[in-house]
Structure 1
Amino acid sequence: MSRLYGDPIEVWTRDGQPVQFVWRDRLYAVRQVLDRWVVAREWWKVSEGDPGERRFWRVEADPGDGRGTYELRFDTAGEGWLLMRAWD
């Protein structure tokens, strides 16, 4: 079962991929990238010079007490990360 969140998170990357993130004051180590995709924003919402992509990663991560699956999103327009979804 998955839960939707949309919570802001802090993410560290290596070679453009998330390697760890902090969510609700806990550090999660990304163990495996399960999937990655890019969604272009609607053309009428794109500002000049900014493609406005949303980049998604589905990752397996470990906060130290067991692994879980998480969906992370990076919005190029606002340059912010969100934790979108978590699976039990």
Structure 2
Amino acid sequence: MSRLYGDPIEVWTRDGEPSQFVWRDRLYVVRRILDHWVVAREWWKTSETDPGERRFWRVEATPDREVGTYELRFDTASGGWLLLRAWD
């Protein structure tokens, strides 16, 4: 079962992929990237400074010994990250 959040998070990347993130004052280490995809906005909503992409990652991560699955999103326009979903 998954839960939706949409919480802003701080993310560290390595080679363009998330390697660690802080969510609710806890540091999570990404153990494995399960999936990655890009969603582009409609062409009329983009500009030279805003390509209008949102990049998504589904990852396995852990703050301790228990590994969970999380969906992260990076918005190229704002440069911000969100934790969208977590699975039990």
* TM-score where L is the length of structure 1: 0.95
3-state DSSP of counterpart to 2:50: coil
CA shift at 1:50, angstroms? Answer: 2.1
Query: Does 1:8 find its partner at 2:11?
Result: no
Identity within the alignment, %: 82
SS in 2 for 1:73: strand
Equivalent residue number for residue 53 of structure 2: 53
In 2, the alpha carbon distance for the partners of 1:5 and 1:65 equals 22
Question: What do the CA deviations read for 1:6-43 (whole angstroms, capped 9, x no partner)?
Answer: 10000000000000000000000000000000000122
How far apart, CA to CA, are the structure 2 residues paired with 1:15 and 1:34?
16
Structure 2: 5+ residue stretches without partners: none
After TM superposition, the structure 1 = structure 2 runs for residues 1-88 of structure 1, keeping only pairs within 5 Å, are 1-88=1-88
Aligned counterparts of 2:77 and 2:49: Cα–Cα separation in 1: 10
Identify which range, 60-69 or 47-56, moves more after superposition: 47-56
Write the distance in 1 (CA, Å) between the matches of 2:7 and 2:49: 27
C-alpha offsets along residues 42-82 of structure 1, whole Å, 9 cap, x if unaligned?
Answer: 22321333211000000000011400000000000000000
SS in 1 for 2:44: helix
